[in-house]
Structures are given as structure tokens and as C-alpha cells.
Amino acid sequence: MLDIKFVRENPEIVKQNIKNKFQDNKLSLVDEVIALDIESRETQQKADSLRANRNKISKQIGALMAQGKKEEAEATKKLVTENSEKLAQLEAKEAELEDKIKNIMMIIPNIIDPSVPIGKDDSENVEIERFGEPVVPEFEIPYHSEIMENFDGLDLDSARKVAGNGFYYLMGDVARLHSAVISYARDFMINRGFTYCVPPFMIRSDVVTGVMSFAEMDAMMYKIEGEDLYLIGTSEHSMIGKFIDTIVPEEKLPYTLTSYSPCFRKEKGAHGIEERGVYRIHQFEKQEMIVVCKPEESKMWFDKLWQNTVDLFRSLDIPVRTLECCSGDLADLKIKSIDVEAWSPRQKKYFEVGSCSNLGDAQARRLKIRVNADEGKYFAHTLNNTVVAPPRMLIAFLENNLQEDGSVRIPEALRPYMGGIEAITKK
């Protein structure tokens, strides 16, 4: 969420940013919120004047009573009552205008970083760099669900009976591999200095609206009926929410946390044939990383975060590339985002396995995460990034480590988490 003062003083910058994100339907909101802001400040001035006048007159009543001037005191009391009624009306109007301004400000997108390429959607994202040599083996690689089923490791039919489409049972070596990857990712991030955390898997509505846009909320979140609780779509939500309405001493920054959680997503809309199996699902597990830092350090942390994911995937012999998200592909709170994509030797192309985002002070402003410095208070910057998100990550792992005999090689880094075995074999 932007600062209303910034919008008031820079309306054309805000409008151009909206155009750059191809959201022209929101252009009128800028003039609308500026007009409401003018009305709000005028109302506040009138209310402040009445409050000051009320206090002044109240003192006069005491003085008149002390002087025995009861009639004048009673007349003055009536004036106080009249002023109080007017003040109550103004205060109600103040609250109404404040809500209207906040609701619009929650919709106006954050100002994107100047380095972000301008484009309508993810088809115009820009490749930055490749890490590792993509390999296409001479033998045919089956679809990921078939690879898992060859190890008796996937049961979609039973999951449909129990929970419907978009759910799964992982079994045996595949389930063990899933847990091994999560545990390896946890230790990988701890070794990089991040504090491990297991957060709440449900959050209240004020946290939801603090960490994401309304469009994301509608497309992703599951609401707990009858309670002010939502299932998290990623642990980033509750991890950033941990700092809601806090004033952080500057010397304690940065906070660098890595978290495990299950994630729950609606995944609305139709998806292509390449997204069947366990590619796009309603429930999965994830290792995440978040940073709360000074504004001047957020660019540095942004580069460190996506590099962590690249390094982890390369340690498991999976080629990856980084992709700069264009303006139209950025969620409204983000100022910059990079996707990490893993190589799929079966599809002979890369696919997304993680996303790194810098949100500037947007989440901090919504959640009131302030930093106490010698020169005064300011809003922190927040960032987040995926470490790994099985089972999608397992697709990349299985395809890149599949052997011609149908076995799957276990990279050396992961073997301690798999009981020392060097490969899993077909049943």
C-alpha cells in the first residue's frame, strides 16, 4: 500500500505505474482517492477546531459557575452540547472517509522498481541467467506421475475418493524423498544463517489483507467457515504476520527466517495438460524464507534470496534459470520479482519451482511494521522466496535424476536424509 502523501504529491507517477501494469481500469481511483483525501483533511480540520473550541468553552463554564453566573453557565453548556453534536457528525464522517481512502489505497498497485521490464503477462518475462547444463537423455522420460507410480509412490485415485481432485497420497520411497528434500532444504537455510520456524497454519483476516492483494486473496485462500481464520497459501503469510503492529529496534534488523508449512490453495481456473498429476494441487508442503530489513538493504537481500534457491537446486544436480517478472506479471504489492525455473528434460524446457519477491514497505505499511531508529520511525522492507516446494520440486528432481533402467539416482548431498541409499529402484 502506498503512502497517501506520495499519491497526493505524485499523481502522474502513480498513474503511469498503473499503465505500466496494464491496469487502466484503476486510473480513475487516483483522482478519486485524492478528492477523498482533500475532503478528509478538511473534515479533520473542522473537527479539530470544534474540539479545541469545546475545551475552551468547558473551561469557561467552570469560571462562570465560580463567579455565580449560573444563567450564563447554562447557556454556555447548551453551546457545548450543540458543538458536541456537530463534532459527533464530523467524527463519523472522518471514520467513513478514512475507510473509503483505505479501501482504494489497498487496490492501487505498489510502484514497481525501475529495473522491471514492461510487459502484459508472464509470456513477456525476461530470462536473466542459466545455471547448470540442461541435458536431454537418449531414453524416453515418462510423465512425472508415471515415474512416481513405478515406485508405488503415488495414489491419486484414493485421494479423489477421500478429498476430491487436486489431492494425492505419496507413498514409500517417493514420500520419503519428499520429506528428505524438505529436511535438506531446512538445514541448507539454517547453514546460511536463517532462523528456523514452524508458524501457524491459519491466519486472521487482518493478516491476510496485510500480506496480499484482494485479487490474490480471492484466487488463493480457503476461509474457515464461522471463524475469522484462513488456511495459509504459503508460510510467508504467517511469517510476515508475526511482526504485525510492532516497533522493531533498528539494531535488531535484519530478521532472516526460514519456515516449514503445509500450504493450501484454491488454484482457480482451468489448467493445461502439463499441469495434471501433482503439478498444480490444493495442498502441498514448502520450505520458505523471509527477510525483514532496512530499506537500503532490501536490494542486497533480494539477490541473496534467489541465489539461495539456485544454489540449493544445483546442489541436487538440477539445472535452473532465473526469470525477471515483467510489470504485468507482478502482484500489486510487489516492486520486483524473480522466478526460479527448473529444467524439465521430458518437456525440454524450464518450469517454475520458486519465486523471489521484494515488496518494499507495502506489507509493512499495511501491517504497521515499524522500525525505531535514532532519526525516527520508518516502515521496514519485507522480502520472501521459495526454498523448495514439493511435490512440484520432486518433478524436477525425478526427471533430472532418472536413469535408463528406471531407477532414480540420489545426489550425494541428499543421501544422509535418505538413509545413505544411492538410488531408489522400481518396484
Q: Closest Cα to residue 362, out of 175, 121, 139, 108?
A: 108
Q: Is 392 a catalytic residue?
A: yes
- List the one residue out of 300, 126, 106, 114 whose CA is nearest residue 206: 106
Catalytic, out of 352, 407, 409, 415: 352
Work out the burial of residue 279: count CB atoms within 10 Å of its CB; fewer than 13 is exposed, 13-18 middle, 19 or more buried. middle
Q: Catalytic: which of 130, 192, 204, 280? A: 280
179 catalytic per annotation: no
Q: Residue 280 catalytic?
A: yes
Query: In three state form, how does the secondary structure of 187-245 look?
Result: HHHHCCCCEEECCCCEECHHHHHHHCCHHHHHHHCEECCCCCCEECCCHHHHHHHCCCC
Provide the 8-state DSSP code for 288. E
Looking at residue 326, what DSSP letter applies? Answer: P
* Radius of gyration (C-alpha) of the chain in whole angstroms: 28
Interatomic CA distance for residues 239 and 423, integer angstroms: 35
Residue with cell 486510473: 27
Comparing CA positions, the residue from 420, 400, 406, 385 lying closest to residue 185 is 385
Give the integer Cα–Cα distance in Å for 25 and 329.
16
**Assigned C-alpha cell, 246:** 510492532
Active site includes 176?
no
Active site residue 265: yes
Q: Compute the distance between CA of residue 275 and CA of residue 100 in angstroms, rounded to an integer.
A: 40
Instruction: Name the residues annotated as catalytic.
Output: 265, 280, 352, 355, 392
